[in-house]
Structure 1
Amino acid sequence: MEIIVINNGGSCLFSGFRVLGLYSNHVPHALRYHQKHREFYLVTAVGKSLHTFNVQRLGIVSVSNSLSDDITCVAADRMLVFAAAGRTVSAFARNKEVVMCYHGHRQEVRLLLSLGDQLISADSGGDLIVWDVQGDIYLRLQFDPNTFDVSAMMHPSTYLNKVLLGSSQGTLQLWNVKTSKLLFTFPGWSAGVTALQQSPAVDVVGVGTATGRIIIHNIRLDETLMSFTQDWGPISSLAFRTDGPPIVASGSPQGHIAFWDLERRQLVAQQRHAHSTAVAAATFLHREPLLVTNGADNAIKVWIFDQEGGGARLLRSRQGHSAPPTTIRHHGSNGKSILSAGQDGTLQSFSTVHERFNKNLGHGQFKQKKKKGLSYEELRLPAITAFSSATARQSDWDGIVACHRGRLVTTTWNYQRCTMGAHHLQPSCPHKAAVATAVDITSCGNFAVIGSSCGRVDIYNLQSGLHRGCYGNSDKAHSGAVRGVATDTLNQLTFTAGSDLLLKCWRFKTRKQEEQLKLNAAPASMMLHRDSGMLALALDDFTLQVVDIETRRVVRKFAGHHGNINDITFSPDGRWLVTVAMDCTIRTWDLPSGCLVDCFLVSMAPVGVSMSPTGDFLATAHVDSLGVYLWTNRSLCGPVGLRPLPADYQPTVEMLPGVTVGDPEQGVKSEDMDDVYESADQLGAELVTLSLLPESRWKCLLHLDDIKKKNKPVAPPTAPAVAPFFLPTLPGLTPQFTSPMATKEEAQVPLKDLHFCPIQFDHPVRHLKDCGPAALSVELSCLKPEGGGASSLLLAFINMIDSMLASGRDFDLAHAYLALFLKLHLRSLSRDPVAMAALLHLSKRLEAGWTELRASFDQSLCLLSYTKSALL
């Protein structure tokens, strides 16, 4: 049966799944220690949400709900994590749910400090508020930003209710937040304070300034003990080691970290290029030789100090692109790896399975050796503009070829070694000012076809890196720039598209032109689906053309985009063509019908798209975003009926994966309500439910006489000399204490005295479940008139069994109770016509129920036997 999905403006084919490659931004991290787990946790801000990692493995633990605005600062205490977004401060419980919001600031909050049961926040307007964790304002201080602009906050160790404030003017103030008194003012060092950090010694703090000075100051004596100066600009962060060596680490805006020895008062080591951007925060783990850093380059790094001379080495890291990715492609046939080239010049691989499988292939570099006077940055190649990969021979030689912005040379990369390859491919007679524009690797993995802006199309051998020829007369395949190249599955044909409005078909081996096709506009990009033989071209007039490479004719034309088409991709079966453009739309075209079947908007223009070879995920990259976003294919989860969309269709905005909009001011439910699942009493009318009681409670009811004979004591029991004290309990196998005021009659109520309702038998059934086998036999024996019961009780018991069978609940108990009941009272029931009629009705119900169950059992056994035979 086909399910028709009515499109309401969103996507009926794709739904947001998650985002890859986002770890950190410019906001300083917060470090927590979990007493129960005995483990450190790192909290970083990524846009509007918080990410929590365990420091031991740097594995992501949780992602918080999104706030209404980007997070500007983070703080944490033993139970909660605090994050400021705009003028509001939110408290997160379990690193996820917002449990409290603090409103009171009139400007953007930029500093947070957790102090016991209090939270201190400062905004850009000069307001400093001391909050009670429950949400009440305990104290409000107003500073004039022109004379004292709060730029750093710190709680001095052992100073009860004291806060040390640093200003961008250079002065420091020590406040008592309980009495609202200014205790002391430090004149400063004629430079703005950028960082404050408590040292392991009491009364001694580290002060970082905007001029690069590090001052170790005793605040009790108002005495400067020592000072250092780094040459890399302002101090972005300070951290003191607490595991023994007297070392202080300072971060810089250039991404370098310096380590200073407080005893010898000198620089002992430095870690250059620890981050490609400013070091947002650096924190030493308590009593461990580990330093945790994060930065705006989307990286989290853990450094260990086990080198000679006090140096550090990188122990583990999580890092993505520090600049937005421009080109993404799936690598391999399993769809688990996505290659991404970013504006930061790096080529990275993101795993859709787990982050530990991510790879960073690094930056492209010039082939010549480093010369004296050349910096590290000057040896780097520009960002990758286009690349192609193949897995056929990647174990033998390089399997990735990339073009760089403004460069004619193309580089090879090795995926398995995660390094740049051995070859730099470049024509022997390069044209002046020519650059490489398009690249493709053959399906066999032996050759690379590279097109350039001067119209050349060259072939290179990937094993040796040698030039194997070029297409066209006079070494030119096109009179304009080459916009796309592609080779078929069997290496028989090569297709090239140029800005001269021509699509040309060449023989791969002889490099002779077979045919050319005139296009309506200059092509922007080209993509060949080798299995189906469909070649898609995105043109500069915002239209699409699909060419069949067998007939060499245009078989489909699509129009609808209102901006430059940035990228195109095919579904694995070649049925769908997915395109992304600068009009912020992601469109899916159905090739057999020639219609637009899905279209939705995103908040940021997509620049890259790739469909998984298995068809389960669609990956997109967006302008001004560092992550790779995954969208699940709904058609794999269930049947989805697609209808052609009208020409005037107006799509709606779909939220990017990994970003959810929630109301942070609403309360959240308790953890028990979210995690505990309550099963239904009965799943269906055709099914039965067992009681889950031990088999000893019902399986031996018909053999109680034999059990009593076997368990008959050899000697009579004797009373102990001193009987211990016992609390009164109710009869049954489940221990239940009676209340002190309960009487003996209330504690022991036999079944014959219970009220049998004609419809509901829950109370008698619960009473029988609490009885053991012997007590159950006694209860059923007392139902007959000779035992103090009545004939109406016998009929009521039959009706109770009938009700249990009709509902399908306690199937095993119903049969066991009925068997014991008939064994005890069959002679009396045979003389009662009303009871016999009820038993006849019950017999029909038993037979019908067992017939359905036996049919289900037989069918299951048949399928199981067939499966076993098929496997053998």
Structure 2
Amino acid sequence: MPGGGSCLFSGFRVLGLYSNHVPHALRYHLKHREFYVVTSVGRSFHTFNVSRLGIVAVSNSLSDDISCLAADRMLVFAATGRIICAFARNKEVVKRYHGHRQEVRLLLPLGDQLISADSGGDVIVWDVQEADVYLRLTFDPNTFDVSAMMHPSTYLNKVLLGSSQGALQLWNIKTSKLLFTFPGWSAGVTVLQQSPAVDVVGVGTATGRIIIHNIRLNETLMSFTQDWGPISTLAFRTDGPPILASGSPQGHIAFWDLDRRQLVNQQRHAHRTAVSGASFLHGEPLLVTNGADNAIKVWIFDQDGGGARLLRCRQGHSAPPTTICHHGNDGKNILSAGQDGTLQSFSTVHERFNKNLGHGSINKKKEKKKKKGLSYAELRLPAITALASAVSRQSDWDGIVACHRGRLTATTWNYQRCTMGAHQLKPPGSRRDAVATAVDITSCGNFAVIGSSCGRVDVYNLQSGLHRGCFGDQETAHSGVVRGVATDMLNQLTLSCGSDWLLKFWRFKTRKQEEEVKLPAAAASLRLHRDSGMVAVALDDFTLLVVDMETRRVVRKFAGHHGNITDMTFSPDGRWLVTVAMDCTIRTWDLPSGCLVDCFLVATAPVGVSLSPTGDFLVTAHVDSLGVYLWSNRSLCGPVGLRPLPADYQPVEEVLPGFTAEEAEQEVTSEEADDAFQSAHQLGAELVTLSLLPESRWKSLLHLDTIKKRNKPVAPPAAPPTAPFFLPTVPGLTPRFELPVATKEDPQSKLLSFGWLAQRSDFSCALDSALQSGSFEQPLRLLKDCGPAAISVELTCLTSQGGGDNSLLLAFIHMIDSMLASGRDFNLAHAYLALFLQLHLHTVSQDAVVMAALLRLSSRLEAGWAELQASFNQSLCLLSYTKSALL
């Protein structure tokens, strides 16, 4: 039956990709006053700020790999195949240029024009804004194969072309005329670079020769010869000293003094592969380089003698990873060992937390002999094939143990110091042809258990690095190669499996065998979930067995892979077992039900898999891919219906996770559209926005009577009656003054009813007009300008008793409905509606038309609140999960 992809995992992002063989492009942002470097990483490109080498933008993916890059002040140009794409804001494609018949390999922005050259001999001048062909030049690749392009400074509408045959041609692209031909120097031109001096250019050749030539006088000023092969890149320093940097295919960089005309310094092994691009920052002693070794490096010239040192670097694996695993219990750090021999740690939070633990050294003493002629490669250990880590005692001693390809000695690594450890673990008296094949560290972090190809399983103390014994009576645990070892939570049992079709249980302290389980085929690998005591064993016949450590019995058997099972991992709760194989499938098995619940295909075969201890991310590494790929667990964000998949299930291919810029420090945009304000009117109807009015303008509308009663002033004390000039007295024995008689008010008021003489307010008139036009912007704006008391008066006057009529009630309901439909002023709409119903609910209930409109508004309110409630619940769920993970 046809599948629908993975229902459990979705692609999130990729870690550890920074650069490839495509030369970088350098940009300067006038408003930010900062340099940015753009590098290609396959089908998309990354933008980094040079000041911190932090990623600030990630482009959308193209249909094919990028072959060349170029950038100007506004756009970034990327060529993929025969198509050239122009990217705005370092992200989305805004223009496409079609016209080449072969693969584009050179790009050169020149003002409002773009010059491109392909492998078929066509050089096209494009109008950048219109994406039209302005000029097409055709060359015969057999006589003039364009291999380099450059625009000489101050040469208006001129472009200098270099060929692989060695000749150079200067063209006027406005008149389409060949101005001059330089015969060359009997070597193919690989690089053309403008120098700080006008009319002077640097020419790099395929023979390693560098020529500094004056194109106006057609005179060679000086030349240098590089001993490391062809010139891959050239860069002139512009901050004072006349220094020229040249790159080589071996990864070395040479620095030439143009005044003294000699080599002043060299940076050996600046990159592990060819130096793809090098650029000096204008007016600064900084050199930016990138290479196919997946590295971007910034060098600073502050050494004596004009030497450079590495200032900052972003570097991933230069060869595909071989094994991966999570380090620690928070799931934020991923250990990755590559075929390049390096051990690196990638952070899922931010790349500034990445660590490079470097290469292992065969012998520290031999490392001191490096200056005496020992080659650079002889000091390095081969690639890591098996890896184990523990964090319980990593502050005291080394917490990582690794096995290397073709070596019996295992190495220790210190995660906190980011270096190779102090010990090299090798069993005494073993065969010379033996190789360490499996490793595990106890939960306490004190011991390492290592299996070898000769059948030995040895125990080492990580604090001292001493050998503490081996399993088996004859110092041999298995009669074949040991494929996997593991220890339980309490250091009571040790498990080992090998090519002799046996799974053995050993007592850790006595190192005596307790029991063994006969397997139906040779074991390929072993994985233990310590909390549940479940052991997963992958066999050479592509099947899986799950063994319970308590009962020592096989409790589950899974079959379905059609290739060698390369790695497997348990979920934190021990409910799922995720396996990857060379058949390019990633399968998730449910242990309680014994069923396959999720399966999907990937483009390249996965070689490693690890599920984070918090269960939020699945991490995979793939053949011929330098990155580490993250897949998010959908079950943590919402309900996921997992059903058993049938035996004939046909999985669907999932695209490998791409790149996101969520951790971007800032977004680099064009100069004109920089920092564009996104107002509430531009957000769209799918979002809900609140008004910018203070709470006092809308929150107290339902309590105006209470506020007025509370704020009503107490009657002031009456002034004492003034005595008249003649003081009248009251007759009697005791003389008393007679007070004036108080006048009584007329209880009958002579005021006329307000409704007969009142005139309609501006709000009522605007509301009446809006009912006819359908636009309620004007009455809403008038209502926003009113205070709470004025709003109460305006709403009171909507009825006939206040000078209005029932049509104004209907218009007001339509205004609230338009506010809810647009999603703007969400709080004002509810506050105004609540006051309206408090004042006129009895009147509205007697009008059928107004009541029908109110019922329609009620349904819209319920639907809107349902969506908000779902969003609130999801956000609260994620917030509580994050708090629990941090605790």
TM-score interval (norm. to shorter) = 0.7 to 0.9
Post-superposition offset of 1:69: 1.0
Q: How far does residue 759 in structure 1 lie from its aligned partner after superposition?
A: 13
SS in 2 for 1:635: helix
Whether the aligned pair in 2 keeps the contact of 1:9 and 1:650 (CA below 8 Å) is no
Question: Structure 2 stretches of 5 or more lacking a match?
Answer: 661-672, 714-758, 821-826, 863-871, 881-887
1:119 Cα shift? Answer: 0.6
**1:30–1:753 Cα change, 3 Å:** closer
Q: Within the alignment, does 1:318 sit opposite 2:329 as a pair? A: no
Deviations 1:119-170 (A, max 9, x none): 1111111111111102110111111111111111000000001011111111
1:677 aligns with 2:683: yes
Structure 2 CA distance for partners of 1:799 and 1:183, relative to 1, 3 Å: closer
Moved more, 428-437 or 749-758: 749-758
**Residues in 1 aligned to 2:228 and 2:769: alpha-carbon distance in whole angstroms:** 88
State the one-letter code of the partner of 1:418.
C
- Matches for 1:259-658 after TM superposition, within 5 Å: 259-367=255-363, 368-370=365-367, 371=369, 372-658=372-658
Residue 9 of structure 1, CA deviation: 2.7
Q: For 1:55, which of 50, 55, 59 is the aligned residue?
A: 50
Residue in 2 that maps onto 1:177: 173
| 2:567 and 2:579 in contact (8 A); partners too | yes
Paired with 1:834 and 1:444, the residues of 2 have a C-alpha distance of 77
Matched residues in 2 for 1:386 and 1:511: separation?
23
SS at 2:352's partner residue? helix
Q: Is the 8 Å Cα contact of residues 751 and 764 (structure 1) preserved in structure 2? A: no
Question: Is 1:37 paired with 2:32?
Answer: yes
1:769 to 766, 773, 783: 783
What displacement does 1:836 show? 12
Match of 1:641, SS state, is coil
Matched, 1:793 2:790: no
Cα distance, 1:432 vs structure 2 = 2.6
Equivalent residue number for residue 226 of structure 2: 230
Residue among 10, 16, 19 paired with 1:21 = 16
C-alpha spacing 1:52/1:516, structure 2 compared with 1 (3 Å) = same
SS at match of 1:113: strand
Query: After superposition, where does 1:188-207 map in structure 2 within 5 Å?
Result: 188-207=184-203
Structure 1 unaligned segments of length 5 or more: list them.
1-5, 661-669, 684-688, 710-744, 823-832, 854-859, 868-872
Give the Å deviation of 1:83.
0.6
Query: Is the Cα contact below 8 Å between 1:690 and 1:810 reproduced in 2?
Result: no
Residue 778 of structure 1: how far off its partner (Å):
9.7
> In the alignment, which of 86, 92, 116 is matched to residue 87 of structure 2?
92
Alignment of 1:659-670 (within 5 A): none
Would the alpha carbon gap of residues 262 and 747 (structure 1) be closer, same or farther in structure 2, given more than 3 Å must change? farther
User: Do 1:752 and 1:783's aligned partners in 2 also have CA atoms closer than 8 Å?
Assistant: no
Distance in 2 (alpha carbons) for counterparts of 1:154 and 1:94: 25
Give how far 1:57 is off. 1.1
Identical positions, percent: 74
Shift of 1:473: 2.2
Amino acid at match of 1:369: K
How far 1:802 moved relative to its partner?
Answer: 7.6
Deviations 1:340-392 (A, max 9, x none): 01100000000000000000101111123233331111111110000110001
Paired residue for 1:726?
Answer: none
CA-to-aligned-CA distance 1:58-78 (integer Å, 9 cap, x gap): 111121111111110000111
Aligned-partner Cα distance in 2 for 1:395–1:152: 54
Q: Deviations over 1:288-337 (max 9, x none)?
A: 11110000000001111111111111111111000000100000000000
Query: What is the one-letter code of the residue matched to 1:769?
Result: L
Alignment CA distance shift 1:19-1:815 (3 Å):
closer
Query: Tell me, what secondary structure is at the counterpart of 1:413?
Result: strand
In structure 1, distance between residues paired with 2:766 and 2:556? 83
Is the CA contact 2:797–2:803 (under 8 Å) kept in the aligned structure 1?
Answer: no
Cα distance between partner residues in 1 of 2:134 and 2:317 = 43
Distance 2:569 2:679 in 1: 40
1:678 partner letter: G
1:673/1:109 CA distance change after superposition, 3 Å:
farther
1:141-180 equivalences in 2 (<5 Å): 141-180=137-176
CA distance in 1, matches of 2:347, 2:54: 14
**Letter of the structure 1 residue corresponding to residue 92 of structure 2:** E
Instruction: Give the superposition deviation at 1:771.
Output: 6.6
Show the counterpart of 2:737: none
Contact 1:398 1:421 in 2 (8 A): yes
**Which SS does the other structure have where 1:369 is aligned?**
helix
What displacement does 1:780 show?
Answer: 8.9
User: Secondary structure in 1 aligned to 2:366?
Assistant: coil
Give TM-score, length-normalised by structure 2. 0.82
Give the aligned partner of residue 742 of structure 1.
none
**What CA deviation, in whole Å up to 9, does each residue of 1:797-837 have, x standing for no partner?**
56667888999964545677899x99xxxxxxxxxx99997
Structure 2 residue identity aligned to 1:467: H
Structure 1 residues 506 and 187 mapped into 2: Cα distance closer, same or farther (>3 Å)? same
1:65 alignment partner, one of 60, 68, 76 = 60
Task: Indicate whether 1:108 and 2:103 are aligned.
Answer: yes
Residues 280 and 287, structure 2, Cα contact 8 Å, conserved in 1: yes
* d(CA) in 1 for partners of 2:766, 2:611: 71
Counterpart residue type for residue 652 of structure 2: T
Q: Displacement of 1:751 after TM fit? A: 3.7
Bigger mean CA deviation after superposition, 805-814 or 630-639 = 805-814
Distance, in Å, in 2 between the alignment partners of 1:9 and 1:395 is 46
Distance 1:223 1:646, change over 3 A: same
1:256-281 Cα shifts (integer Å, max 9, x gaps)? 11111111111111111110000000
What is the distance in 2 between the residues matched to 1:758 and 1:115?
A: 56
* In structure 2, distance between residues paired with 1:629 and 1:242: 40
Structure 1 CA distance, aligned partners of 2:397 and 2:104?
53
Residues 1:119 and 2:129 are matched in the alignment: no
Cα drift, residue 794 of structure 1? 5.1
Contact 1:691–1:809 (Cα < 8 Å) also in 2: no
Give a deviation string over 1:665-701, Cα, whole Å, max 9, x none: xxxxx99999942357989xxxxx9894784699799
**Other structure's SS at 2:619 match:** strand
Residues 336, 163 of structure 1: alpha-carbon distance in 2 compared, 3 angstrom cutoff: same
Structure 1 residue 409: Cα displacement: 0.7
> Which residue does the alignment assign to 1:247?
243
Match of 2:136 among 137, 140, 143: 140
In the alignment, the residues of structure 1 paired with residue 843 and residue 484 of structure 2 have an alpha-carbon distance, to the nearest angstrom, of: 90
Q: Does structure 1 retain, via aligned residues, the 8 Å contact 2:764–2:798?
A: no
1:131 aligns with 2:126: yes
Q: Tell me if structure 1 keeps the 8 A contact 2:797–2:804.
A: no
What CA distance in whole angstroms lies between the structure 1 residues aligned with 2:609 and 2:294? 21
Shift of 1:761: 10
Equivalent pair of 1:71/1:83 in contact (CA under 8 Å): yes
For the residue of structure 1 that corresponds to 2:395, the secondary structure is coil
Q: Counterparts of 2:443 and 2:527 in 1: how far apart (Å)?
A: 14
Shift of 1:229: 1.1
Residue 775 (structure 1) shift = 8.6
Letter in 1 for 2:474: S
Shift of 1:255: 0.5
Q: Distance in 2 between matches of 1:147 and 1:268?
A: 37
Cα distance between partner residues in 2 of 1:564 and 1:520: 16
**Cα distance per residue 1:575-625 (max 9 Å; x no partner):** 111000000000000111111110000000000000100000000000000
Deviation at 1:633, TM superposition (A): 0.6
Question: Structure 1 129/673 Cα, relative in aligned 2: closer, same or farther at 3 Å?
Answer: farther
Residues in 2 aligned to 1:149 and 1:543: alpha-carbon distance in whole angstroms: 56
